[in-house]
Amino acid sequence: MSYNQRETPILAELCTFLVEDVYGELAARVYSVLARHGRQTLAAVAKASYLNSRQIKYGLVILLQQHLVFHSGNDSQPTYYEIDWQNSYALVRLGKVTKLVEDRFGRKAANVMTNLLRLGHTRIADLKEAYFPSETESDDDSDEDIKNGIGKKRKRGNGDTNQTAMTNGVTNGGDVKPVVNGDHAHTNGGPVGEPTQDDAEDDDGEIGSVEELYEVIERLIQKGWVRTMTESQYLSPGDMHDILQQETIDQDLGGQQPTGIKDKAICHRNTLERKRNMRDKWLEVPRFSRKRPADQDYSNPTKRMKVNGANGWSSTGGAAPEDKLVIRVNPEKIAVAMRTEQLVSLVEQRLGHVTAYIYRTMLQELEANTPRCYEEYPEPPTAGDEGGDNQIDPKNLVTARDVAKKINKNFDICEGLDPNAIVSITRKGHVRSSNVLSQPIDPSSLNTDEKTRIIDKHIQLLSEDPTHFVTWHSRAGYSQWHIEFPEIAKQLIQTEIENTVSARKGTLGVKLIRALRKKGKLDERATCNAMMMSAGDIRGIVNDLTVQGIVQTQEIPKVERREAKHSLHLIWYDRQRAREKLLHDTYKGMVRILQRIQFEREKVQPLLSKAERSDVVGNEEKWLSKGELDALRKWKEVQEKLSLQLFREDDLVATLRDFHGPLVSV
């Protein structure tokens, strides 16, 4: 998401619903004041609300801890507070983030990520203390609630002191839970949606030692899912721009305000460069003093040696230099992972699950070198720049051999290809008249060269698709491929707009959109010629799409008198405006879903309060009547259907908003 894009007013209502659902009514009331009135001081917030100063400060602490609000911290002037719309909307994706991390790094990493999402940001030392509390003076076997929100009994005698930290750091109303049952994390070597052999050995996500916790955190930082926290991240985009622009003026322009075109261009370029440098520093990987084996897989349990120590496991002991680091979840990486999932799903629909699995391997290979979906602060073009310097970083190139190294030898990569192509590569058997192989091919018997050539056939299918999921770059031994994410994102946006128009106005509406996109601004006669339809047939469609904000109209008078018969009425299509209108409608639909969930919950609230009692949980059949059980089951079905629809709407928001920056109107 870009902070340069215009935000719709309905987003304030949506985010207020999310804040109230996750963090409670007090935080939501403070949040709603800032959402309605914009940038405010503490005194202005108190004046605009019916809350006292103590309540407002408590609500702001929650919002600041969770990075839902910016603040301009400066002792020389009043502190201003402003909504962070990006992180506020991200509350709807809490459960989705945990699942994405689990699929890539295993349950232990998902466990840590869940706690980071609940805490907002935290020191590594505090996170370690939550998982592995230090010894206290009260050294008995019955101390409860010793961990932050965990509530586990800590055993002293056998050295096995570390229990699971599944519920560490729960804040007001937080309901994000790590996925500890169901499908295991997928690793390379199996079809999509099927667990592999290594996954069968996965444990329940428990962090077994301090060393293991540090290794998981380091891996998440290296892969870009977690970043270090600095005070500059509390600044709003406007405050950050003012500070960096003033720094540019003081250091690069001698303290003089830019007046000429050249000075303004230098100031703008250097300010953007400082923004990029500040943002990139947040993603720098700190040096950890605790070493670990390279490319360790955290989805599998590790063998530990029990020793006599404070935590019961082998550890270097003492405070590590990295304990003082403050870390938080990187929201930009979440959008990259969601883009991967959507592209893989689209490929699976068009080309099959085997090609989709190979495409997933390619995308995840590039994820480590893709910090964000698009550059929010691009380098401005210089005079005389013809665009010939667009060199592709070698890190963003993938070959079929790279994919072959990641795929398990038992994975059947021959499925979904032309049998004649398989025979020409393997030189085994022949193709029967029914277009099937005369003998099946064992994937484990293929050598590296044959496997690489077969995978290259799948990649060629991806490149020949109309969406052009991959693009050929060069040949260096094997063909090198790169993925043009900006162009793919534009096609996804256009597809969503056309799908919406098709659902509302049928094929004629889509035909009009495509004609205007190809021809540009047209008057009624030119539109009729482009669509090969009469004026009476297209007027109704144009009027409806204009009212809905998909198509724009413009009246240009030919003479001084503004008469309809002496004016040109132009019709045109702006993809950015249609994108914003569809995004607004999606936000509105999400608000309606949340309102419906709240309404349905209120109808069965007494029953839910009874079912959530500690003596009833797990014993519903004993304490609830048949009618209550039926009502509870119906409520869960309704909640599941509405939540599923909410997540589908969120996928649409990601496509329209997060995968590409603001589009330039032509």
Write down the architecture of domain 488-573 according to CATH: Orthogonal Bundle (1.10)
Mean of pLDDT values over 593-612: 94
Yes or no: say if 185 and 299 are a contact pair by the CB < 8 Å rule: yes
pLDDT higher than threshold 60 for residue 653: yes
Yes or no: say if 558 and 566 are a contact pair by the CB < 8 Å rule: yes
Q: Which residues of 354-388 are buried (b: 16+ CB within 10 A; e: fewer)?
A: bbbbbbbbbbbbbbeebbbbbebbeeeeeeeeeee
Q: Long-range contacts made by residues 562-568, C-beta under 8 angstroms, separation at least 24?
A: 568/523
For every residue of 519-536, DSSP letters joined together read H-SB-HHHHHHHHT--HH
Taking only the tens place, the pLDDT of each residue in 293-345 is 544 554 444 444 443 344 444 344 566 778 889 999 999 999 999 999 999 99
Indicate the range of 117-121, 146-150, 561-565 predicted with least confidence.
146-150
Output the six-digit token pair for 106: 């295993």
Overall residue count recorded for the chain in this entry: 666
pLDDT higher than threshold 60 for residue 22: yes
Element (H, E) at 112: helix 107-119
pLDDT at 564: 73
pLDDT at 555: 87
The side-by-side arrangement of strands in the sheet containing 40-41 is 40-41, 80-83, 69-71
pLDDT category of residue 4 using cuts at 50, 70 and 90:
low
Report how far residue 495's alpha carbon sits from residue 457's, in angstroms, rounded to the nearest whole number: 27
pLDDT at 199: 41
Mean of pLDDT values over 93-110: 94
Q: Burial-class residue 200 by CB neighbours within 10 Å (0-12, 13-18, 19+).
A: exposed
pLDDT at 288: 82
The side-by-side arrangement of strands in the sheet containing 471-476 is 398-399, 478-482, 471-476
Element (H, E) at 97: helix 94-105
Amino acid at 415: E
pLDDT category of residue 7 using cuts at 50, 70 and 90:
low
Report how far residue 131's alpha carbon sits from residue 111's, in angstroms, rounded to the nearest whole number: 11
Spatial CB neighbours of 130, under 8 Å, sequence gap ≥ 6: 115, 147, 148, 149, 150, 165, 168, 169
CB atoms within 10 A of CB 579: 22
Higher per-residue pLDDT: 242 or 425: 242
pLDDT higher than threshold 70 for residue 387: no
Single pTM value for the model: 0.83
Determine phi and psi for 391, rounding to 5 degrees: -80, 140
Alpha helices in 548-604 (DSSP H): 575-603
**Mean pLDDT of all residues in the chain?**
83
Amino acid at 585: D
Report how far residue 490's alpha carbon sits from residue 663's, in angstroms, rounded to the nearest whole number: 9
Determine phi and psi for 313, rounding to 5 degrees: -125, 160
Indicate the range of 69-83, 360-374, 445-459 predicted with least confidence.
69-83
Yes or no: say if 556 and 524 are a contact pair by the CB < 8 Å rule: no
**Highest mean predicted confidence (pLDDT) among 126-135, 218-227, 251-260:** 218-227
Show me where the domains of the chain are located.
91-224+285-329, 334-378+394-483, 488-573, 579-613+621-658
Element (H, E) at 481: strand 478-482
Q: Taken in order 73, 77, 79, 83, is the CA torsion positive or negative?
A: negative
Report how far residue 119's alpha carbon sits from residue 128's, in angstroms, rounded to the nearest whole number: 13
pLDDT higher than threshold 90 for residue 422: no
pLDDT at 318: 60
Higher per-residue pLDDT: 352 or 305: 352
pLDDT at 323: 86
Q: Burial-class residue 494 by CB neighbours within 10 Å (0-12, 13-18, 19+).
A: middle
The 3-state DSSP composition of the chain as helix, strand, coil percent (nearest 5) reads: 55, 5, 40
Higher per-residue pLDDT: 561 or 351: 351
- Which DSSP letter does residue 65 get? H
Higher per-residue pLDDT: 7 or 189: 7
pLDDT higher than threshold 50 for residue 190: no
Q: Burial-class residue 215 by CB neighbours within 10 Å (0-12, 13-18, 19+).
A: buried
3-state secondary structure of 421: helix
The rounded Cα 14 to chain-centroid distance in angstroms is 18
Mean of pLDDT values over 396-425: 86
pLDDT at 298: 46
The rounded Cα 567 to chain-centroid distance in angstroms is 48
Output the six-digit token pair for 9: 């007013």
pLDDT higher than threshold 60 for residue 83: yes
pLDDT at 557: 85
pLDDT higher than threshold 50 for residue 201: no
pLDDT category of residue 169 using cuts at 50, 70 and 90:
very low
Q: Long-range contacts made by residues 490-496, C-beta under 8 angstroms, separation at least 24?
A: 490/575, 490/660, 490/663, 491/467, 492/342, 492/655, 492/659, 493/575, 493/579, 493/655, 493/656, 493/659, 493/660, 493/663, 494/575, 496/582, 496/652, 496/655, 496/656
pLDDT higher than threshold 70 for residue 568: yes
Amino acid at 57: K
Yes or no: say if 83 and 70 are a contact pair by the CB < 8 Å rule: yes
Yes or no: say if 583 and 650 are a contact pair by the CB < 8 Å rule: no
pLDDT category of residue 3 using cuts at 50, 70 and 90:
low
Spatial CB neighbours of 541, under 8 Å, sequence gap ≥ 6: 505, 508, 509, 512
